[in-house]
Amino acid sequence: METIDNIKENILRGGQFLVKETPCEDVFTPEDFSEEQKMMKESVKEFVDREIWPLKERFEKKDYALTEEIMRKAGEMGLLGIAVPEAYGGLGMGFVTTMLVCDYISGATGSIATAFGAHTGIGTMPITLYGTEEQRQKYVPKLASGEWFGAYCLTEPGAGSDANSGKTKAVLSEDGTYYSISGQKMWISNAGFCNVFIVFARIEDDKNITGFIVENDPENGISLGEEEHKLGIHSSSTRQVFFNETKVPVENMLSERGNGFKIAMNALNVGRIKLAAACLDAQRRVIDGSVKYANERIQFKTPIAKFGAIKAKIAEMATSMYVGESACYRAAKNIEDRINIRMSEGNTHQEAELKGVEEYAIECSILKVAVSEDIQNCSDEGIQIFGGMGFSADTPMESAWRDARISRIYEGTNEINRMLAVGMLVKKAMKGHVQLLEPAMAVANELTSIPSFDTPDYSEALSEEKAILAKLKKVFLMVAGSAVQKYGPALEEHQQLLMAASDILIEIYMAESAILRTEKNIKRFGEEAQKEQLAMTQLYLYNAVDTITKKAKEGIVSFAEGDEQRMMLMGLKRFTKYQNMPNVVALRNLIAEKVTAENTYPF
Ligand SMILES: Cc1cc2nc3c(=O)[nH]c(=O)nc-3n(C[C@H](O)[C@H](O)[C@H](O)COP(=O)(O)OP(=O)(O)OC[C@H]3O[C@@H](n4cnc5c(N)ncnc54)[C@H](O)[C@@H]3O)c2cc1C
């Protein structure tokens, strides 16, 4: 029985996965969904299949009104209030369930996934998390029910990744009762149909921006640009928003003056992990469509699914899916547990949720990058499996590919998130929240010692994979540890090195999540029942070892020379060495044959 006390004892802090071993029993997997969660998943899937998927073509033809209509229906079903506390008209469900809804709502079209994410995440969360009691009572119930819709105005023409550099101004009136906001916001999702904007503006010459809740009233100096012509998410409303001396009562300031950048960043942490979830079902549907097509399409008198070249694609697509969902739900449960621990210690829901998500900000960035790139690669291979038909707008691969592209850009570009992941880890190490120094020193010492020539016993399933994972963590510690020593705070200027370190970090987290899920499931369901899952885990790790080898090499030669470089490259060889090289072709065949036989993504 899981109690707060034993969760508290075992839970790792954000980023600690790198230096601490997680017993497989401690990870949450999609096989652990409760009955309530399974019901929620089925009802969202049914909603998508009934209300969204059949109207796919209208979404591609930029039917913005349809997006609004579907969002209202989602509100009627209670889906917009999943994460909102009951006191404000929501369902107050746990973090895992909110991730599950983001996951399955993403299945049909990126337009709805974006509208849903912008409204429930960055459009509503800043008020639930930072609003005063009055602000929450006034706005949140309307947003939770879908009576009103929200949008988030951070980006400006001159302030994208550098979000704190915005020029929008907020000037206090002489009588001190309202702020007058003027400025131009860009790329605002849901702008065309929203009732409330979360707007970030600067007061005087403050270092940091301030957040405001602004009701959408065209009579109050608010006007919109035309809908942007976009590559994908065609029915998601994206417009510029102009504020011209818009009067906002002082009581609509969010949190305190100058706190806006913090609000914006924390809202984005939550947004990032939910965005990762919102790529998952999109990916399942791409796999489902691809395998069905591959089974039906005959060339050379053979279903193309039987060709090795196609099998390899199907196997890799299923593998990245399996790994992505393993990692997303693992992190989601960590966040949920952290929130529950904080609430048991007397934190309000607001404080608990903020701190709970902030704790795992590293994992949120990792997931955002990894899963957004998975859906991109997967839909690209989906097009390839469809051949010429994949290039046609008459098949769903084309829109899946276009819709996937945005996920690498918004909620912080993948470059920014890669740098953030490593940057936050280094900061946590400096604060003593994650002990990186001693393990990094231990690895440095190991490099100069004679390696063991014992032959370990790897007969137990996943034992060699776990040993390799432990060594991959040493690769990160070796590269990042030496880089920090070499450059100190100037490390942030060495972006290519940071990006390489980040890729190593990402691969470790993703591979570990798959290993732990499969290990847990082998223990309870037996190895035979998990043979394809085992194969996917092994295949992922094999690819991860390759990526890590390449990235580590790149990093090492960028800052180490002579003997130091030779020693680190030798260490890298040692840390990435298999005793028993997996036969990846056989692994791919096994995975592809299962997916093809089931004619869908079956895991
Ligand atoms: C469809 C869509 C919907 C959106 N919805 C919203 C919304 O609802 N609300 C909102 O506020 N914003 C929204 N955005 C804006 C989005 O968050 C930004 O586009 C994104 O943060 C990137 O900013 P930018 O476009 O100005 O690119 P830039 O910041 O100019 O970046 C351009 C390139 O330079 C790189 N780069 C930038 N800075 C650095 C650096 N320091 N080091 C290394 N590389 C760097 C980037 O990674 C990128 O590759 C949306 C955008 C789109 C396209």
pLDDT digits (tens, 9 = 90+) for 513-541: 999 999 999 999 999 999 999 999 999 99
Q: Which of 68, 336, 411, 512 is catalytic?
A: 411
Share of the chain above pLDDT 90, in %: 93
Q: What is the pLDDT of residues 356-365, one digit of tens each?
A: 999 999 999 9
Give the pLDDT of residue 108. Answer: 82
Position 267 pLDDT exceeds 90: no
Q: At what angle do helices 463-487 and 562-575 cross, to 10 degrees?
A: 160
Report whether 392 contacts 382 (CB < 8 A): no
Tell me the sheet residues that pair with 183.
243
Q: What is the pLDDT of residues 125-156, one digit of tens each?
A: 999 999 999 999 999 999 999 999 999 999 99
Determine if ligand 1 sits within 6 Å of the CB of residue 15: no
Position 1 pLDDT exceeds 70: no
Overall average pLDDT of the 297-308 stretch = 98
Determine if ligand 1 sits within 6 Å of the CB of residue 410: yes
Chain-wide mean pLDDT for the chain?
A: 96
Position 455 pLDDT exceeds 90: no
Position 449 pLDDT exceeds 90: no
Give the pLDDT of residue 562. Answer: 97
Which residue is closest in CA terms to ligand 1's atom 38?
161
Report whether 378 contacts 317 (CB < 8 A): yes
3-class secondary-structure state, position 182 = strand
Q: What is the pTM of this model?
A: 0.97
Overall average pLDDT of the 3-28 stretch = 91
d(CA 303, CA 314): 14
Tell me the sheet residues that pair with 274.
none
CA of 338 to the centre of ligand 1 (A): 30
Overall average pLDDT of the 21-32 stretch = 96
d(CA 481, CA 393): 49
Determine if ligand 1 sits within 6 Å of the CB of residue 187: yes
- The answer for residues whose C-beta is within 8 angstroms of residue 575's C-beta and 6 or more apart is 471, 472, 474, 475, 478
The residue type found at 560 is A
Q: What is the pLDDT of residues 378-389, one digit of tens each?
A: 999 999 999 999
Report CA-CA distances (Å) from 181 to 57, 128, 152, 204, 498: 39, 23, 15, 12, 38
The residue type found at 507 is E
**6 pLDDT tier (thresholds 50, 70, 90):** confident
**268 pLDDT tier (thresholds 50, 70, 90):** confident
- The answer for residues whose C-beta is within 8 angstroms of residue 217's C-beta and 6 or more apart is none
- The answer for residues whose C-beta is within 8 angstroms of residue 507's C-beta and 6 or more apart is 472, 544, 547, 548
Q: Does the annotation count 411 as an active-site position?
A: yes
CA of 163 to the centre of ligand 1 (A): 9
Burial of 448 (0-12, 13-18, 19+ CB in 10 A): exposed
Give the pLDDT of residue 352. Answer: 93
